[in-house]
A = this chain, B = another copy of it.
């Protein structure tokens, strides 16, 4: 891996390079995606079936679009019982963690008759998109469905592309069933997003769409935002490790590679105050790459977006960490908890040398759907918050309103909204 001295200029160059991966520059596919959405909106099921034949090579209709109980039973027979066991253990951890995120309705009252509050209501129907294609990610099913379930969403719909044979991956089905999905439809791509946003004869309209997907899915989600809510658009995966001389170079190298293997756009960055560590990690990375099955991807990803940065001071290193705002951040320093208090921007923070990033991907409990590409400056991990919404509650008695009603009238009149003023005044006429 390349080793660079961390300067303000290096930092800015890297930031600029990383932003090339932004899902915001997908404009070229937009019109194709908009056509698909428009078609599904108008022709509904008919368009969904056509696109599924065209893109996935599968013939589906109203009778077989929905995964049956029989198919789910088959899937259970096909999945390795050891994997099922791990899915169940992970599920408990994920549910426990997300349960702690629950927010509750509250109100506050005073003796004059003022009641103010906030009512928390789960969304009613949520659509979870699960990619098909090359990779199977049952962990992604768990991470998207469980927070919705914990929030109390009563209807969780999943869509995922099927193969030419009309089948969905068994591990996807098993994970969905374990997590508590209510219905699964064999549709993928922008057509699935459009169907969830507007509804068809077979697929119900949802309030929110979550889940990862390719560029068509990402663009379709952006296009239907406003008609429904969406989670944020995920960019390529990222890891940043902040380490000092106390870190184990072999662990650090292995963790950098765990993200580099995702795809050629993934980014892996070590920032360290130790030149010795920088050298050692670089050597360990080379050794590991040789023996890993995805070495082609890893090499490209490291060439494109892999860096080892040597900082003069820990404060410089921390500043860069906060500027880059990585999806995953590992802290491997002498006092990692103290370091953590100085971190403003990161999707998930892994503290100490045994908190390897994949622990969070699969098992520990916090969500692995995290803000990428610098958006950790303003976005949060997927959470129970994404599946609830709030309503303000306002109640004033006559006794409470009377002493302040003239103030409100005054404010409304200053904004020249006389009907606003009237609605307050009418309550105290003669």
Query: Could you list which residues of chain A lie within 8 angstroms of chain B, going by C-beta atoms?
Result: 22-24, 80, 82-83, 85-87, 89-90, 97, 100-101, 106, 108, 114-116, 118-119, 121, 123-124, 135-139, 171, 207-208, 222, 225-229, 232-233, 250-251, 254-255, 257-258, 260-262, 288, 292-294, 298, 336-337, 340, 343-367, 370-371, 375-381, 383, 385, 389-398, 400-401, 404, 407-408, 410-412, 414-424, 426-427
The CA of A378 and the CA of B122, in the complex, are separated in Å by 9
Copies, count? 2
Q: Is the CB of B411 within 8 A of A362?
A: yes
Residues of B within 8 A of A360 (CB): 392, 394
For the residues of A in contact with B, the DSSP-based class is: mixed
Most buried by B among A138, A344, A370, A423: A423
Q: Is the CB of A343 within 8 A of B391?
A: yes
| 14 residue pairs A–B, Cβ–Cβ below 8 Å | A24-B226, A83-B414, A86-B407, A86-B410, A254-B422, A257-B419, A260-B419, A292-B418, A294-B417, A294-B418, A348-B392, A361-B412, A363-B408, A370-B392
A419-B258 contact in complex given A83-B410, A351-B395, A412-B362, C-beta closer than 8 Å: yes
A349-B381 contact in complex given A355-B394, A417-B261, C-beta closer than 8 Å: no
Residues of B within 8 A of A80 (CB): 414
User: How near does chain B come to A123, taking the closest CB pair, in angstroms?
Assistant: 6
Q: Is the CB of A408 within 8 A of B254?
A: no
Residues of B within 8 A of A361 (CB): 412, 420
Residues of B within 8 A of A86 (CB): 407-408, 410-411, 414
Residues of B within 8 A of A352 (CB): 395-397
Q: Is the CB of A366 within 8 A of B394?
A: yes
A226-B22 contact in complex given A391-B347, A414-B171, A419-B292, C-beta closer than 8 Å: yes
